Amino acid sequence: MNTACDDDSPTSPSEGAVATFRVENESFRVHLTTPEQIRGAELALGNGPAKIPNGRLVAGEDVNQGYSWHLVDVTFAEVTIELCDGLPSEVQRAGVSFGGGRYCPWSARVVSIDYAR
């Protein structure tokens, strides 16, 4: 597993967690590198109100196998602007300029969290 581009901590790349999201009939994966990101994903997986992943698009697949992009600086939101909503395949077609450089799929749901610890 590669490190996320925004992870400048001295930890090894295997630390953190990988969250898998489902958006309609498609899925994508995000490397969560901070306790806040992991907790946000756990709350989104449960009954937390902030379920929408919102992150900056970066070139390269990282843990997001099958795509030429991945997300960094991920937070979880209750609402976001429509500009960054869409399917992972739409991001793939448009590239990292999709959504003004951000991806925040409204219908995304955390389906699993794999902990590397």
In angstroms, the CA 4 to CA 49 distance is 26
Q: Is the pLDDT of residue 3 over 50?
A: no
Which of the 8 DSSP states describes residue 82?
G
User: Coil, strand or helix: which one is 107?
Assistant: coil
Higher pLDDT, residue 90 or 8: 90
In angstroms, the CA 83 to CA 97 distance is 11
In angstroms, the CA 117 to CA 107 distance is 29
pTM for the full model? 0.85
In angstroms, the CA 60 to CA 23 distance is 20
> What pLDDT does residue 15 have?
82
Structure tokens at 62: 């990282």
Q: Is the pLDDT of residue 117 over 80?
A: no
pLDDT (average), residues 13-33: 92
Higher pLDDT, residue 50 or 7: 50
pLDDT tens across 29-86, in order? 999 999 999 999 999 999 999 999 999 999 999 999 999 999 999 999 999 999 999 9
